[in-house]
Chain A
């Protein structure tokens, strides 16, 4: 699976948009970008995934660059409950594609 690079930590003001970047310059054509997050002392939680088009769901938006070498997860109106470690993962679709968690980005939402 391709490796990803994320900033170690970020801060965001409550109510503002949180933009979390991820670099995946070696991503293959059949690999998707997945985002999970882990709130302290809980199991990881799926957020969103995409291949090449921008995606949006009730939790977040995912913007993938045209060359697919990087992406940005956007939490449009961050709340204190969004404080967590956010993991960007690239993998093939299907349950045989392993989720390989890196160090992720620790997002601290501040009042």
Chain B
């Protein structure tokens, strides 16, 4: 299995632009998580989905952030408009209630976002 796949790996954009981060979870996993990591705040959970339905988005910082999961194999995290303080590494993770390691979260390699 290829693991969790994220794209792009690096993104540099200018303030005010729209940014879309993409994630493909491990096949068969029914939970998908989006995290953000910064030096100041560490690793924070933004939102998670179960069976493509958003369950808890209490970590989403503000309305500029939105996340979707149109099907079991794809999710997006969108920032519009982007601001310099959104610069961070964004991780996607997936897990399953049915796997041998129930509830173990498998993380992708992350997307490093820089907003100038």
Contacts and interface: CB of A to CB of B under 8 A. Distances in A.
Interface of A: 38, 41-46, 93-103
A95 B91 contact: no
A44 B101 CA distance: 16
What size tier do the contact residues of chain B reach? 20 to 34
A95 B103 contact: yes
Which of B4, B93, B107, B109 neighbours the largest number of chain A CB atoms within 10 Å of its CB?
Answer: B107
Nearest to A45: B107
Contacts of B106: 46
Given A42-B109, A43-B108, A97 B103 contact: yes
B82 interface: no
B36 to A, nearest CB: 11
A44 B107 CA distance: 6
B7 interface: no
